[in-house]
Amino acid sequence: MQRDSLVFDLIQKELQRQRQGIELIASENFTSLQVMQAMGNVMTNKYAEGYPGRRYYGGCEIVDQTEQLAIDRIKEVFNCQYANVQPHSGAQANASVLLATLQPGDKILGLDLSMGGHLTHGSPVNFSGKLYEPHFYGVKKETGLVDYEQMEEVARRERPKMIICGASAYSRDWDYKRIRQIADEVGALVMADIAHPAGLIAKGLLASPFDHCHFVTSTTHKTLRGPRGGIILMGKDFENPFGLKDPKGNIRMMSNLLDMAVFPGIQGGPLEHVIAAKAVAFGELLSEDYTQYAKQVKSNAQAMAKALVAKDYHIISNGTDNHLMLIDLRNKNITGKKAQETLDRAHITLNKNAVPFDDKSPFVTSGIRVGVPAITTRGMNEEHMQTVVNFIDKVLMNIDDAAVVSSVAKDVHSFMEQFPLYPELG
C-alpha cells in the first residue's frame, strides 16, 4: 500500500515545530525515543479485556507480561501495593475511582477549577459535576495557598463522600495529613490526583500522598514523561473502609472494585501498545538519570520564578515548590489570551490560565501558566531559565510590535539548536 504522505508529512512538520520552539506548557513533556517506539507496535492489534492472568480473550500470554511489568515497575516507583495501568487518560483514572466509590448524586469536594483545579474534580461541564453533587474549596486571596479552613468548613457543612485534592495550576505542595483528618471527621474518602507533580513525588521532592490518601491517580505523560495515559494507585491494596459494594451488592476488596470500575466499568479493551510504552517509561523512572532530571526540574522552576520576579512579574503564591507557576499579568496590563497568542508567534508555547479571583472570562483570563518539565528534558539548566525569561519579557514588553516578535522567534530557533530533540529521527 502507498505510504500516506499526507499524514506523515504532518507528523514531520510537528516534529519540526517541537524542535524549534520553547515548550512551556506545564502538562507537556518529551518522551524518550524508546517510549515512543514502544508505543507504535503490534500490541495495538490485540484485544485483552480483563487483567493479566484473567482475560476474556485468548492469545494474551505476551501482553500479560508487558502489563504485569508495567504494574510491577510503577508499584516499585511509588512504593505502593496496588496499581492499575489501563486508564486511557488521567480523566479515565479519575472517572474510575469515582465510579468505584460513589453513587450518582453523592457529594464530592474538590478544588475549584477557577482556582487551579481540574475539570474532573466536579466541574459542571464534566461527568464529575453532572453525575455527582460538586462542592468546592479554593485558595486564599492574600497568599494564593489552598484554604484548608474553607475545605474543613465546606466538608463539615456538606459531608461529602469524597474529597479530591490535586490541581492543574497550583505551584505549592499539599498537606495530605490535614486533608485526611478533615475527611475522617466527616466520613469521606480522599483521592489525590497527582497528574502534574507525580514525577517529583516519585523522587521524594514533594510530600507523598500515599500514607494519607485512599486513592492516588495520575496521568503518565506529564512529569512522569511516559506515553499519554492514566494510572490508579493505592498505598495499601486491601482497604475498603466503608464496606463499598460491587454492582451485584458484594463487599469486595478495594483493589477489585477499582479494577472493575476501569474495566468493564468505563473502558473496553486496554491499549496494550500504550501499556508497553508505560512499562518502558516506568523503567526509566527507576533510573538515576530520571532522579537527576526530577531534581533539575525543581531547581529550574525555582530559577525561572526568581528571574520572573526580578522583572516584576507577579507569581501566584510568590513562588513554586514544584515544576510550574502561575503568572498574574494584570500589573503589566496584558491579558492571558493576548500573551499566549503573541508568545506563540515567537514560538514560545504556553497557555493562558485564570488566576484565583480572576475578573476576566476563562477565554481571556488574567494569567499564564508556565512549566519547565519539557525544556528540562531538552537539557536546559538554571542559567537557561534566565534566557527563556528574557525572551518572554521581550515579547510581552513589545506585544504590539510584530517586528520584535518575529526577531524573538528567530532568536528562539537558534537558541533551541543547542538542545537537539530526537536526532535519531533525522
Ligand X SMILES: *Cc1c(COP(=O)(O)O)cnc(C)c1O
Residues engaged in binding ligand X (CB under 6 A) = 27, 89-91, 94, 118, 120, 166-168, 193, 195-196, 219, 230
State in angstroms the smallest separation of the CB of 164 from ligand X.
9
State in angstroms the smallest separation of the CB of 28 from ligand X.
10
Considering 228, 295, 337, 360, which one is annotated as catalytic? 228
Closest to ligand X by CB, 342 vs 351, is 351
Q: Using alpha carbons, list the distances in angstroms from residue 167 to 36, 119, 131, 371, 383.
A: 27, 10, 20, 14, 28
Closest to ligand X by CB, 91 vs 257, is 91
Closest to ligand X by CB, 232 vs 388, is 232
Closest to ligand X by CB, 174 vs 391, is 174
Closest to ligand X by CB, 231 vs 280, is 231
Considering 19, 46, 49, 360, which one is annotated as catalytic? 49
Is 217 a residue of the active site?
no
Considering 19, 28, 46, 47, which one is annotated as catalytic? 47
Q: Answer for the pair 30, 297: CB distance below 8 angstroms, yes or no.
A: no
Name residue 42's amino acid.
V
State in angstroms the smallest separation of the CB of 88 from ligand X.
8
Collapsed DSSP state (helix, strand, coil) of residue 262: helix
What angle do the packed helices 148-158 and 176-186 form, to 10 degrees? 20
Is 49 a residue of the active site?
yes
In the complex, which residue's CB is closest to ligand X?
90
Considering 23, 147, 193, 284, which one is annotated as catalytic? 193
Residues 6+ apart with CB under 8 A from 163: 108, 109, 110, 151, 155, 179, 182, 183, 188, 189, 190, 191
Is 341 a residue of the active site?
no
Q: Dihedral of the CA atoms 17, 21, 22, 25 (nearest 10)?
A: -30
State in angstroms the smallest separation of the CB of 328 from ligand X.
20
State in angstroms the smallest separation of the CB of 354 from ligand X.
14
Q: Binding site membership for (6S)-5,6,7,8-tetrahydrofolate: which residues? A: 113, 117-119, 361-363
Is 222 a residue of the active site?
yes
Q: Answer for the pair 334, 399: CB distance below 8 angstroms, yes or no.
A: yes
Q: Binding site membership: which residues? A: 113, 117-119, 361-363
The angle subtended at Cα 283 by Cα 282 and Cα 286, nearest 5°, is 95
Q: Using alpha carbons, list the distances in angstroms from residue 291 to 144, 200, 204, 264, 421.
A: 29, 9, 10, 36, 20
Is 143 a residue of the active site?
no
Q: Are strands 230-234 and 82-84 parallel, antiparallel or unpaired?
A: antiparallel
By annotation, the residues acting in catalysis are: 47, 49, 193, 219, 222, 228
